[in-house]
Amino acid sequence: GENVEQHPSTLSVQEGDSAVIKCTYSDSASNYFPWYKQELGKRPQLIIDIRSNVGEKKDQRIAVTLNKTAKHFSLHITETQPEDSAVYFCAASQEGLIYNQGGKLIFGQGTELSVKP
Amino acid sequence: DGGITQSPKYLFRKEGQNVTLSCEQNLNHDAMYWYRQDPGQGLRLIYYSQIVNDFQKGDIAEGYSVSREKKESFPLTVTSAQKNPTAFYLCASRRKQGLDQPQHFGDGTRLSIL
């Protein structure tokens, strides 16, 4: 089955610097890659996602890149702020229109990002 | 996401006891999911259901059971067979599979052993 590896497990940056979190996946059939942000004791919230027909997607200070050949994707946060401090999870799934195919998200182990003022 | 309600927020289980975690959604979502979250291990899928009266095992289904009698409800029972139930349990839902249908999570239930 699918396996998702996420690195680093912890990341500390100064406010204003960039942060990059990387994930690799094993199943070449995976075609949907969301990123979630989870603040302490709260629910994971979707911050950005990308599909396999796109190489890059950007939303203000957040961007995600996908390399299908190498089977890895990355989250880039620019101009980090203290409120970006949280645990970030990548995930992968196989989306499809056929019943019993797709919908199962396999998550990475998470990256605890700390942004120091 | 106010449309997914998990209860209770905190739950304590005694030895040999079964406990049931509630998950209700009013988003008219077709699919629902249960995840277990342990420190440093991310989220692991326990069970999921794509339509009413049907569900599939995830990666760590042993010691758990579910039912999906109504579209809006997907309760999870942690049985006495689950020897290490202490964890944060998250329920999620999404629309019928297709493009641009992300999973949305509830606020979670924290289960501890007494």
Backbone angles phi, psi at B99, to 5 degrees: -80, 145
**Confidence check: pLDDT of B102 > 60:** yes
Q: Which residue has the tokens 């964890």?
A: B87
- Judge: A105–B45 Cβ closer than 8 Å, yes or no: yes
Q: What is the pLDDT of residue B98?
A: 57
Contact A45, B105 (CB under 8 A): yes
Q: What is the pLDDT of residue B97?
A: 57
Model pLDDT for residues A8-23, shown as the tens digit of each residue: 999 999 999 999 999 9
Q: Mean of the pLDDT values across residues B64-80?
A: 96
Burial (CB count <10 Å: 0-12, 13-18, 19+), residue B80 = middle
Which residues in chain A are closer than 8 Å to B58, comparing Cβ atoms? 104
Q: Which residue of B has its CA nearest to A103?
A: B97
CA angle centred on B1, ends A113 and B4, rounded to 5°: 120
**Confidence check: pLDDT of A100 > 70:** no
Which of B42, B90, B97 is nearest residue A43 as measured by Cβ atoms? B90
How many Å separate Cα A37 from the centre of its chain?
A: 9
B68 token code pair: 């999906």
According to DSSP, the β-strands at A10-14 and A111-116 are parallel
B35 token code pair: 């995840």
**Confidence check: pLDDT of A107 > 90:** yes
Which residues in chain A are closer than 8 Å to B109, comparing Cβ atoms? none
Model pLDDT for residues A43-72, shown as the tens digit of each residue: 999 999 999 888 999 999 999 999 999 999
Q: Mean of the pLDDT values across residues A93-97?
A: 72
- Judge: A103–B44 Cβ closer than 8 Å, yes or no: no
For chain A, percent of residues with pLDDT exceeding 70 = 93
